[in-house]
Amino acid sequence: MADLLFYIFAALTLVCGFFVVNPLIRNPVTNAMFLVLTLVNLAALFVLLQAFFIAAIQILVYAGAVMVLFLFVIMLLDLKAEVRRKFSRFGVATGVLGVTALGALLLLAVFRSGAAHTASPHLQASTVTLGKALFSDYLLPFEIVSLILLVGMVGVILLSKREIK
């Protein structure tokens, strides 16, 4: 039963992820809602891994707080249909080729390392162990993500700032 649920949630995650970046969907709010569905399906995959804390954080932080910020940005920027960028066939083909090459390299690296057969020790630990690993082993990526979010927030403020006459 767990295998069937894994395949269902994995397929739903891939389909919703495709609709997030689908150029045929012109409404950015629809893309954002598909991103919420993608994050919820990822949380379901974490539940199947019995990583309940990570699943709860996935829902609360990403599907909750970050998506609210994304929707505020979308609403503040007031995107118009005629201003949207047109996609060139060369750009789309280059992007698909690049993503395919990176995905193949990632799969090759995972299978060569043997990590596909072993579970991470952090997934089987308590929240105390997870917190210690986050703030010791993974401190630099944690701080880089916080700086990227800070730059994004400052950019949103600057983009949404209107001149008062």
Q: What CATH number does the domain containing 55 carry? A: 1.20.120.1200
61 and 5 share a domain? yes
Total-model pTM: 0.55
Residues 6 or more apart whose CB falls under 8 angstroms from that of 134 comprise: 142
Tens of pLDDT, residues 124-163 = 567 788 778 878 888 888 888 888 878 877 877 776 666 5
Tens of pLDDT, residues 50-95 = 888 888 888 888 877 777 777 777 776 655 544 555 667 887 888 8
From 80, 105, 131, give the residue that closes a domain. Answer: 80
Whole-angstrom Cα Rg for the chain:
19
Rounded Cα distance, 67 and 39, in Å:
10
Rounded Cα distance, 59 and 68, in Å:
12
* pLDDT category of residue 164 using cuts at 50, 70 and 90: low
2 and 74 share a domain? yes
From 35, 62, 80, give the residue that closes a domain. Answer: 80
Domain count, the chain: 2
Which H or E run includes 152? Answer: helix 139-160
Q: Which domain holds residue 129?
A: 114-165
Residue 88 lies in a domain: no
Instruction: Say which residue, 155 or 48, is predicted with more confidence.
Output: 48
26 and 75 share a domain? yes
119 and 66 share a domain? no
Whole-number Cα distances in Å, 130 to 40, 59, 106: 21, 18, 25
Rounded Cα distance, 66 and 40, in Å:
13
